Amino acid sequence: MPYKKKFNFWTKLVGFFDVESPVFSTRMSLLICSVFASSGIYLGISQDSLAVQINGLIAAIDVLNSLLFITAVNQTVKSPDIIYNYGYGKYESISILAAAGLLIIVFGYAIYEAVISFGTNTSEAGNYFYLLLYSLFNLSIMIGMYKYQRKMAKKYKMPILEYDAEIWKIDSFIEMGVIINLLFGTGLKFFGFGHLAILIDSITALLLLIFALKVPLKGSRDALNQLLDKTLPDDMQFQLLAVITDNISMICEFKHVHTRQSGKDIFVEIDVVLPFDYTIKQKYDLELQIKEQILAIYPTSVPRMYAISCDGNCTNGNKSNCPVRMYLLEKEAGKE
């Protein structure tokens, strides 16, 4: 019978809180958003604040986003292999599009709920001062998570972590809107205008939902561009050409360079012509040299060099007009 690895709860727990893993920050997002979602929806309903309730609903969407992101990050950290030789970067784009679609669907439902409740609530406003303290605490956590996620995105060069950081940034602005709304509500309730406070609260909820669409719409556009395998911008292309120029003396002829980006991965394919009697080792050494130079500029790149042999017409008897061979001979003579 095949050996089955036993489940070790402690090992799984330690792995879950491994701060060196790029998945750790998305796991923290999942836990924090779960708390924000449950508490926000409950307090919004119990204290008659549609803005707080909608904010909790947005956090609930972020919980689902975090689940998608954890799956995507677990896949995108894998290196290219024999099956997916261009890597797993497209998981990022697919998860971003899925998260955006999910938010748009729930957004439509939330708009419906906001419209039918608009102006129909005749009860007195809830304890806005209590909700204000709750929102101030949430805001401090959100700002901290935004800074931490930006740090992780910069460290691991993963667009999906940058996207998650932007979500925390937008959530922080949304929370600020809720706080301003609650400040007005607290003042209006103090002066006996509780019904007006509820009206403003409903309007605020609608505005917050519209603002919440900023990140998914922008992220969806970027994700779609990545799925379409767009080539690299000109400035990046020029940097790659500069690397090839540095090694042109080792190449008979430079043909083409093909580039594209998928998630964090940048794919670079270089077509060159090499001397017909180049050994495999010489070809490998040249490819390794070019690869190291490209990786120094773009650490997440996957460089490949494809070479064909020249026709050998540069050799006439014992004489050779091959510029590469002449360069190598001069280089060896210089060493002597």
Tokens of 221: 């556009």
Task: List the one residue out of 25, 32, 18, 22 whose CA is nearest residue 62.
Answer: 32
pTM over the 0.85 mark: no
**Average pLDDT score, the chain:** 77
Task: List the one residue out of 35, 16, 49, 32 whose CA is nearest residue 194.
Answer: 49
Q: Please provide residue 84's backbone torsions phi and psi, each rounded to the nearest 5 degrees.
A: -110, 80
pLDDT band at 1 (very low <50, low <70, confident <90, very high): very low
Question: Angle between the 194-212 and 50-76 helix axes, to the nearest 10 degrees?
Answer: 20
Region of 107 on the Ramachandran plot (φ > 0 left; ψ -120 to 50 alpha; else beta): alpha
The whole-number pLDDT of residue 140 equals 95
Which pLDDT tens digit goes with each residue over 48-73? 787 888 888 888 877 876 676 666 66
SS3 state of residue 259: strand
The whole-number pLDDT of residue 310 equals 84
The whole-number pLDDT of residue 123 equals 53
| CA 173 to chain centroid | 20
- Provide the CATH number for the domain formed by 234-335 in this structure: 3.30.70.1350
Q: Which of 125-129, 131-135, 186-190, 323-327 tops mean pLDDT?
A: 131-135
Compare 136 and 311 and report the one with higher pLDDT: 136
* Mean pLDDT value of segment 182-200: 83
pLDDT band at 175 (very low <50, low <70, confident <90, very high): very high
Q: Give the span between the Cα atoms of 184 and 165, in whole angstroms.
A: 29
Contacts of 60 (CB under 8 A, 6+ apart): 33, 37, 41
The whole-number pLDDT of residue 3 equals 46
Q: Give the span between the Cα atoms of 14 and 324, in whole angstroms.
A: 55
The whole-number pLDDT of residue 291 equals 92
Q: Give the span between the Cα atoms of 157 and 326, in whole angstroms.
A: 42
Which pLDDT tens digit goes with each residue over 68-127? 666 666 665 566 555 555 555 566 666 667 767 776 776 777 677 667 765 555 456 678
Q: Give the span between the Cα atoms of 231 and 228, in whole angstroms.
A: 9
SS3 state of residue 18: coil
Count of CB atoms within 10 A of residue 120's CB?
A: 9
Tokens of 300: 């997440």
* 234, pLDDT greater than 50: yes
Q: Give the span between the Cα atoms of 159 and 225, in whole angstroms.
A: 13
> Among 167-171, 193-197, 298-302, where is mean pLDDT lowest?
193-197
Domain boundaries, the chain: 9-227, 234-335
Would you say domain 9-227 falls under CATH 2.40.30.10? no
